[in-house]
Amino acid sequence: MATVLPFRAVRPQPKYAADVAALPYDVMTREEGQKAVEGRTLSFLHVEKSEIDVPDGTRPDDMIIYEKAKANFEKLKKEGVVFADPAPFYYVYRQQMGGRIQTGIVGVMSASEYDEGKIKKHELTRQDKEDDRIRHVDHVGAQTGPVFISYPSRPAIHALMEDVTALPPEIDFTASDGVKHTVWVISESEIIEKIKKEFAQIEALYIADGHHRAAAGATVARRRRKPDRAQESDYVLAVFFPHDQLKVMDYNRAVKDLRGLTKEQFLTAVGVKFDILENFQEKAPRKLHEFGMYLDGRWYALTAKEGVYDAADPVASLDAAILQDHLLAPVLGIADPRTDDRIKFIGGIRGMAELEKLVDKDGFAVAFSVYPTTMEQIMAVADAGKIMPPKSTWFEPKLRSGLFVHEI
């Protein structure tokens, strides 16, 4: 059973919500963050990514960064830009990007259940990034951004959300990137109990995005745990979406060189494990186990040959794994894509034109378009207790930080 509880959110006054809400800290560089907050003094990036407000040359682990985050958060509270709800509530958070809508419940989940493996992960975390979020949460005294969680869709939870979203929202705005964000507050005790009981029927939750946030929250919980009483740090802020509403976008690759091979030698080596079709006009793959490849101004379609991968293995049969295990590593020498600076990962939201630009203008030798991983594949990997290859998933739209904060 999954423990998903209401909490007392610190959240923006509705009139300030659009100014406070910010993209997650980890989707931009420090320089991009500084540009994003120009003229936006209320942006939550000043809390989530406070290195934008400290002197150039500051070490990434310098405590001045976390002191600044806390000061910026306290300033928002003192000035009345954000406030704490009077009691624990759930919240409904809806995002609309183009014609696609995803609607989730905002609450807190058990850090103990994360440690027990009931909240399942599919990615490894980097220790430096995890340590950063631990220091951030511990020093600010709050989880400032939610973990993105998926759960096996349940009709009863969907019906409850439908009832709530039929009412006027508390917050409703469209961000500069065109994504619409709408929030409802669930304060009625009867509905709160129903939601709590429905989640208790779910065996496992799945981290879609935010593995470092989840790991940091669990670590802080362990450090602060009191054997004789529960406390807020025992729980981790999250937004819970039904799995059938989520869309995983493609996560593509580009490599700087052909490892000394000529174009002809490279194509011959690729052809050992893949069938190659020239003049691939679609550019993006149309189905699982098909890849687009952009080389020397021309698109090719690659299809993994029969028997190349183990179709019964939930990891080996992922397209990111097929490309890595049977082309990037053996042909191009990308043994560890986490650390090799010859490879670049490109979120699918940038489109095929970005891959062409990297090869035609930015000095890369070859680019690959990859079919999006499905939520069912992610859940199968997590259920098997396995880890997906790096950069297997890209979720859009991104959850905004600053709309819900969980003080601990």
Alpha helical stretches, state H, 103-210: 111-115, 127-140, 155-165, 189-200
Provide the pLDDT for residue 338.
Answer: 83
Provide the pLDDT for residue 386.
Answer: 93
Provide the pLDDT for residue 157.
Answer: 97
In the structure, what pLDDT confidence band is assigned to residue 1 with cuts at 50, 70 and 90? confident
| Region 226-247 average pLDDT | 94
Find tokens 């300033």 and name the residue: 75
- Token pair of 392 as six digits: 């297997």
Three-state DSSP class for residue 261? coil
| Region 164-182 average pLDDT | 97
Alpha helical stretches, state H, 271-395: 319-323, 351-360, 375-383
| Region 64-83 average pLDDT | 98
Q: What angle do CA 249, 318, 102 make, to 5 degrees?
A: 30
Provide the pLDDT for residue 272.
Answer: 97
**Adjacency order of strands within the sheet including 274-278:** 274-278, 298-304, 290-295, 366-370, 251-255, 343-347
Percent of the chain with pLDDT over 70: 100
Q: pLDDT tens digit string along 114-146?
A: 999 999 999 888 899 999 999 999 999 999 999
- How far is residue 223's CA from residue 143's CA, in Å, rounded to a whole number? 15
| Choice among 24-33, 198-207, 211-220 with the minimum mean pLDDT | 24-33
Provide the pLDDT for residue 391.
Answer: 84
pLDDT for 202 beyond 90: yes
Provide the pLDDT for residue 7.
Answer: 98
pLDDT for 36 beyond 90: yes
| Region 390-399 average pLDDT | 89
Rounded-to-10 torsion of CA 129, 134, 135, 138? 160
Three-state DSSP class for residue 97? strand
- How far is residue 50's CA from residue 366's CA, in Å, rounded to a whole number? 36
Write phi, then psi, for 192 (nearest 5 degrees): -60, -45
Hey, where are the domains in the chain?
4-248+396-407, 251-371
Find tokens 């006027």 and name the residue: 168
**Contact in structure between 319 and 370 (CB atoms under 8 Å):** yes
- How far is residue 47's CA from residue 43's CA, in Å, rounded to a whole number? 8
Provide the pLDDT for residue 177.
Answer: 92
Q: pLDDT tens digit string along 244-284?
A: 999 899 999 999 999 999 999 999 999 999 999 999 999 99
* Domain covering 251-371 in this structure, CATH number: 3.30.1760
In the structure, what pLDDT confidence band is assigned to residue 27 with cuts at 50, 70 and 90? confident
pLDDT for 348 beyond 90: no
| Region 67-77 average pLDDT | 98
Cα distances (angstroms) measured from residue 393 to each of 3, 119, 142, 144, 346: 26, 18, 27, 23, 11
Provide the pLDDT for residue 339.
Answer: 85
pTM of the complete model beyond 0.85? yes
**Helical (H) or strand (E) element with 36:** helix 30-36
Three-state DSSP class for residue 86? coil
Provide the pLDDT for residue 19.
Answer: 98
Q: How many CB atoms lie within 10 A of CB 61?
A: 11
- How far is residue 320's CA from residue 389's CA, in Å, rounded to a whole number? 6
Residues in the chain, how many? 408
Measured between its terminal Cα atoms, the distance across the chain in Å is: 24
- How far is residue 43's CA from residue 36's CA, in Å, rounded to a whole number? 9
- Bridge-based pairing state of the strands 235-242 and 147-151: parallel
In the structure, what pLDDT confidence band is assigned to residue 180 with cuts at 50, 70 and 90? very high
